[in-house]
Amino acid sequence: MSAHTMTPATDSQLDIADDLLTLLGRVTTEPRPDTRLEALTLAVAADLPVLLWGEPGIGKTAALTQLADSLDLPLTTVIASVHEPSDFAGLPIIGDDPAVDGVPMAPPDWAVELARTGRGLLFLDELSTAPPAVQAALLRVVLERRVGALQLPPGVRIVAAANPRSSAADGWELSPPLANRFVHLQWIHDHEVVVRGLGGVWPRATLPRLDPGKLPEAVAFARRAVCELLAARPKLVHQMPTSETRRGGAWPSPRSWEMTLRLIAFATAAGVAREVLSLLVRGTVGDGAGFELLTSIDRMDLPDPEVLLADPAAAELPTRGDLRQAALDAVVAAVRRRPERERWDAAWSLLVKAVETGAPDLVVVPATTLATLRRDDWDVPASIEALAGLVGVSQSAERAATRVAEKVGR
């Protein structure tokens, strides 16, 4: 049989194979809570470069593809490790009169296409396998959005992906200047998301809904949060880690604090969950400085103890245990600063409310401290009878624990 007679059958089978591949590629999306995906989309909305860290095969590329599809952005993928520095810095093109016109740096075709389109998602993959010279050339791309002589338009967002050096083929640690330009997000797989995705349904990435009425308030809150912490902790302004590995991640600098401020403003205007804000803050200034900032933000949200003391019946105590404990401690501290009978009684009313609406053990320390502030001519309020047994049991337990510890130590 001649090759000519085999062609139609072969073509038919390839057509059928293409149909099958098309069916396999058809997927849908669904609204599904995903903290990391929400953090990624918020950083993209804030126009900050994001770097996804994860083991090979974890789904970083698939997540970016889904993100681009969901946001209706054309995706441009550039494998950083297979490019030369000139692919990002531009190739010199000599014109008619270099002494007059200079030598422009011509950008690569992918950058020209992004500029022509005016919008898109630039995905820099395999960043940790790019040699130092390529990383140096990427600095202007990531920070200034310049590729050679070409300025990328504002509608282009940048997301990168990297594998840890231990699992990257011929991997390099990121240089500190490049690492400090990214929001670092650890990308791990959720088995339920993977199972649903393999079944044809992936989580839908949506941009955060910013409340127009909250924009000025969000900016003021973000500036206050960052500036109050750095005013109290000036050493946090710039702390480049000593180890090479940590310098390739998130760490505090004036640049990363500016990025953090922007993320807090966007998170506040969007009303995102604290878990999302935590990922973004720690991914920008590191875990240590990030946790300090998050704790400081929590304290900013605490109710004014004077407002609580003025009207205990209408007081709303925080629901989170650590914040409720801090609010009660602040109330007792306020009474200590200005001890008056009415304020002392109001503090007891607040402690009773705390027992009735939350975990009783949070009241033990404030109640014990408040009791020591009593003056001889102050009668004990009847409302605290419910607290007497609680404090007594707690103190008995503490004494018993002390006795046991003393016996063990002998």
More confident residue, 391 or 261: 261
Mean pLDDT (whole number) for 263-269 = 96
User: Quick one: pLDDT at residue 168?
Assistant: 55
| CA separation, residue 162 to residues 119, 123, 345 (Å) | 23, 11, 59
pTM of the model: 0.76
User: Quick one: pLDDT at residue 272?
Assistant: 93
User: Quick one: pLDDT at residue 41?
Assistant: 93
Tell me the helices (H) and strands (E) count for the chain, helix number first.
19, 11
Identify the band that residue 400 occupies on the pLDDT scale cut at 50, 70 and 90: very low
**Which range is least confidently modeled, 58-62, 194-198, 290-294?**
58-62
More confident residue, 399 or 216: 216
Mean pLDDT (whole number) for 30-49 = 91
User: Quick one: pLDDT at residue 404?
Assistant: 40
Identify the band that residue 257 occupies on the pLDDT scale cut at 50, 70 and 90: very high
C-alpha to C-alpha distance for 379 and 374, rounded to whole angstroms: 9
User: Quick one: pLDDT at residue 101?
Assistant: 62
Mean pLDDT (whole number) for 294-322 = 87
User: Quick one: pLDDT at residue 204?
Assistant: 81
SS3 state of residue 394: helix
Q: Name beta bridge partners: 328.
A: none
Identify the band that residue 189 occupies on the pLDDT scale cut at 50, 70 and 90: confident
Answer for the pair 86, 80: CB distance below 8 angstroms, yes or no: no
Position 403 pLDDT exceeds 60: no
pLDDT > 90 fraction of the chain, expressed in percent and rounded: 41
Identify the band that residue 390 occupies on the pLDDT scale cut at 50, 70 and 90: low
Which DSSP string do the residues of 113-168 spell out, in sequence order? HHHHHSEEEEEEE-GGGS-HHHHHHHHHHHHH-EETTEEPPTEEEEEEEE--GGGS
User: Quick one: pLDDT at residue 270?
Assistant: 95
User: Quick one: pLDDT at residue 401?
Assistant: 42
Position 193 pLDDT exceeds 50: yes
Position 409 pLDDT exceeds 80: no
Which residues fall within 8 angstroms of residue 310, CB to CB, at 6 or more apart? 346
Position 235 pLDDT exceeds 50: yes
Closest to 173 (Cα-Cα) out of 130, 231, 116, 109: 130
